[in-house]
């Protein structure tokens, strides 16, 4: 009789441990999914700002069509990657978008008149604030993904993950070291208010993108 009770107690303890392990996996997976949802929201905000930014700069540098097309194409790729929900694909596409935005801001530096355009400065500030939110969301997601992936590899959670088949490791949302920040337009000392009669784009000798 005593042996039966001991066996039942052991079984009950094992079941409790398995239940705790399973619930722990659920919590970590849910936290990771919620963290990714936050990234998705701020990335969509970023994507929404870009068309207006392109149109604003285009008003002063319409001949820089290659740069505008590159930004538009990179944005489309980022939107498509976002639909996959794959953090690694999204990260690669967003890095390409950041690089194209750098080119756009490099063009904008040649047009100090843009400093007087309220819509441009507002878009730049909103984009910068969005980038900051992306970085915070990225850190939170990657931390949650790390904890979840580690849990999937430790006993007894790895056994549960194999048994149920509904738990899978997730990828990290990474950024290239050079692409962590969208550059600010630096008009430099020559970027004072445009002189009278010079409200249009600068002459062709000054309108090209800066040399590499």
Is a pLDDT exceeding 60 seen at residue 39? yes
Predicted confidence band of residue 50 (pLDDT cuts 50, 70, 90): very high
Q: What is the DSSP letter of 151?
A: H
Instruction: List the structure tokens of 161.
Output: 């993950």
Higher pLDDT, 184 or 168: 168
At 210 the pLDDT is 35
At 114 the pLDDT is 86
Predicted confidence band of residue 23 (pLDDT cuts 50, 70, 90): very high
Percentage with pLDDT > 70 across the chain: 83
Of 88, 92, 191, residue with least CA distance to 142: 88
At 207 the pLDDT is 37
Is a pLDDT exceeding 80 seen at residue 175? no
Question: What is the spatial distance between Cα 78 and Cα 81, in angstroms, rounded to a whole number?
Answer: 5
**pLDDT tens for each residue of 60-115:** 988 899 999 999 999 999 999 999 999 999 999 999 999 999 999 999 998 888 87
At 30 the pLDDT is 97
At 198 the pLDDT is 40
Higher pLDDT, 12 or 177: 12
Of 22, 64, 71, residue with least CA distance to 50: 71
Domains of the chain: 32-179 (1.20.1440.20)
């Amino acid at each position: 009789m005593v042996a039966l009770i001991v066996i039942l107690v052991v079984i009950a303890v094992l079941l409790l441990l398995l239940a705790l392990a399973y619930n722990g996996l659920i919590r970590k997976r849910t936290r990771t999914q919620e963290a990714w949802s936050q990234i998705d929201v701020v990335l969509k905000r970023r994507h929404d700002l870009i068309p207006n930014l392109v149109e604003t700069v285009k008003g002063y540098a319409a001949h820089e069509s290659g740069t505008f097309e590159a930004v538009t194409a990179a944005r489309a790729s980022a939107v498509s990657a976002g639909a996959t929900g794959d953090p690694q694909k999204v990260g690669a596409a967003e890095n390409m978008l950041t690089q194209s935005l750098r080119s756009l801001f490099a063009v904008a530096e040649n047009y100090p008149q843009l400093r007087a355009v309220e819509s441009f400065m507002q878009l730049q500030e909103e984009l910068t604030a969005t980038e900051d939110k992306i970085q915070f969301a990225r850190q939170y997601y990657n931390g949650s993904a790390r904890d979840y992936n580690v849990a999937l590899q430790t006993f007894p959670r790895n056994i549960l993950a194999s048994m149920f088949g509904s738990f899978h490791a997730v990828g990290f949302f990474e950024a290239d070291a050079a692409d962590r920040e969208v550059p600010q337009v630096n008009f430099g000392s020559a970027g004072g208010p445009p002189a009278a009669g010079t409200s249009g784009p600068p002459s062709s000798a000054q309108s090209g993108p800066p040399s590499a």
